Amino acid sequence: MSDMILLGTRKGTLIFDRINSNWQPRPILHAGTPVCYAARDPRDGTLWSSLDHGHWGPKLSRSHDEGATWEDISSLKYPDGARYIVKYLPTPDFNPESPFAQPEYADATVLKIWNIAFGNADQPNRLYAGTIPGGLFFSDDGGDSWQLNRPLWNHPSRGGDLFAGDATSENQWNGTPASIDYGIFEPGIHSIVINPQDSNHIYVAVSTAGVIETTDGGQSWKSRNHGMLMDYLPNTESEWGHDPHYVTNCLGQPEHLWQQNHCGIFYSDNGAMSWQKVSKPDIGVNFGFPIAADAKDGRIAWVVPARADSERMAIDGGLFVARTNDGGKTWQTFRNGLPQDNAHDIVLRHGLDISGDCLCFGSTTGNVYLSEDRGESWQCLGNNFPPIYSVRFG
Amino acid sequence: MPHVEMTQHLYRFFPQLKNTTLTVPAGSVKEALLAINEIAPGFTDYVLDERGALRRHVNISINDNIVIDKLKLSDLIPNDGTVYIFQSLSGG
């Protein structure tokens, strides 16, 4: 069980340390700066925060001394010539049939470094970062320098190689509302799932496009959205256009993947070759953002449900966690220790994590809850934190 | 040589610029920023994006005039001018 929890919040990085069985928060780090993701590299203990400066551009920040000192890194940049096809937020007067006669291109700049992932032990200096507007970056020197994964950036689902010229295929990637703060409506990579048994086998999830897999270390990518269903498009089984909110896997059984999607909860026991919708709307287990998978048993997962996309808040003012032990056939709901009156929290996609039998989540209302019995009962670690974007055990 | 003033927010990242009288041998805004970057490596990453354009929520003025060219920063600075670098107001 981990002795550290890192929170990315609207007002900085928060670290809890477990001291004598009590979780104690340190004074806030990166004070005043939005931190959209914070995590600890399990290989060497480096702490990472993704700074979401409103004025000065996104930056990574890392600490090699458990958080005592931090070094900001500006080297994650799109290369010259990186372009993408512009998308626009669908407004009431938006014409989806023909928003413009020809594709409109934009030069890519990093707007948000949405998440960070760490390579397996056989790639000790490999890191990944998912960004808005939809670029996957990797580093092979511990984060000193970064490169764009070009096969994914140049994928036919994004119009092809726009470094070489104009689009050669239709852009199937749509925007995420998470980009609107930056004045755009562009896609973002929020989930990077590495197979612990095969470093060349990686999934990324894109809002809004879907799940994409590589089995050759990022040289080629294929959509993995079979079985996914969309409530909001005429063709509910389209190859593209899906909105996975977060995707994760079982570390011990990595062919078991879990996905909290805009349109429900989906489970795959065959490495995302197909997905199965396993929501239970009748007990409120359907919509939400985060999902966590057990490290040993791929059939076990947890979610923190919300009402719906139109009501992104706890259901009827009561916060609960749901767990399945059987691949989503049945769900149990747990409320012990969680507020059941006037709780209107929403837990964002990176706001839930698991370490052994411990789970922790934080909400945009600034509440942090911890369970040490696999989600069955909860204790509050505090109520007045800034809006919480990410929770990760260290 | 032109004089440079900047928001104190930037001193958080570049404390070496605090309490200094900053003059730079520069004819354009771009040259001024590159000169500051020599003194404080990494400075341009905070005010410009990777295309070299002024970040969306950063403003630069020469004396009282907001610069016109925010893409290539080609506005010329008079030798006795002052460059101001500050953040845009973007909410209360």
Cβ contacts of A162 within 8 Å, gap of 6 or more? A82, A83, A84, A85, A105, A154
Q: Which of A54, A109, A183 is opposite residue B49, by nearest beta carbon? A: A109
Average pLDDT across chain A, whole number: 94
The answer to whether the CB atoms of B46 and A56 lie below 8 A apart is yes
> Does A96 have pLDDT greater than 60?
no
Q: In this complex, which of B51, B53, B58 lies closest to A55 when CB atoms are compared? A: B58
Q: Between the CA of residue A56 and those of A60, A107, B56, what are the distances in Å?
A: 12, 18, 9
Return d(Cα A13, Cα B46) in angstroms, integer. 20
All residues of chain A having their beta carbon less than 8 Å from the beta carbon of residue B57 are 54-55
3-state SS assignment for residue A7? strand
Q: Tell me the residue range of the domain where A106 lies.
A: 4-393
**CA–CA min distance A36, chain B (Å):** 18
Residue-wise pLDDT for A151-162, tens only, equals 999 999 999 999
The pLDDT value given to residue A184? 80
- For the four alpha carbons of B69, B71, B76 and B77, in that order, the dihedral sign comes to positive
Q: Are A74 and B42 in contact (CB under 8 A)?
A: yes
Q: For residue A103, what pLDDT band results from cuts at 50, 70 and 90? A: confident
The predicted structure's pLDDT at residue A89: 74
Question: Looking at residue A259, which CATH number applies to its domain?
Answer: 2.130.10.10
Number of domain units in chain A: 1
Residues 65-124 of A with CB under 8 A from B: 72, 74, 77-78, 107, 109-110
- Percentage, residues of chain B above pLDDT 70: 97
Out of B42, B47, B51, the one facing A107 most closely (by C-beta) is B51
Residues of chain B with Cβ-Cβ distance to A54 below 8 Å are 57, 90
Higher pLDDT residue, A388 or A238? A388
pLDDT greater than 70 at residue A93 = no
User: Residue A26 and residue A68: Cα distance in Å, rounded?
Assistant: 11
- Chain B contact probe: residue of A33, A51, A56, A72 with most B CBs at under 10 A: A56
Whether B92 shows a pLDDT value over 60: the answer reads no
- List, for residues A280-305, the tens digit of each pLDDT value: 999 999 999 999 999 999 999 999 99
User: Hey, what CATH topology would domain B3-87 get?
Assistant: Ubiquitin-like (UB roll) (3.10.20)
ipTM: 0.91
**A267: nearest Cα among A285, A284, A241, A240:** A285
- The pLDDT confidence band at residue B10, using thresholds 50, 70 and 90, is very high
Nearest-neighbour CA in chain A from B89: distance (Å): 9
The pTM of the full predicted model, rounded to 2 decimals, is 0.94
- Closest partner residue to A78 among B50, B87, B88, by Cβ? B50
pLDDT tens digit string along A51-89? 999 899 999 999 999 999 999 999 999 999 999 999 877
* Mean pLDDT along residues A4-27: 97
How much is the pLDDT for B26? 85
Helix/strand/coil (H/E/C) assignment for every residue in A131-194:
EECCCEEEECCCCCCCEECHHHHCCCCECCCCCCCCCCCCECCCCCHHHHHHCCCCCEEEEEEE
- Residue from B13, B49, B87 to probe the interface with A (highest A Cβ count within 10 Å): B49
Chain B nearest-CA distance from A350, in A, is: 26
Check whether B90 has a pLDDT greater than 70.
no
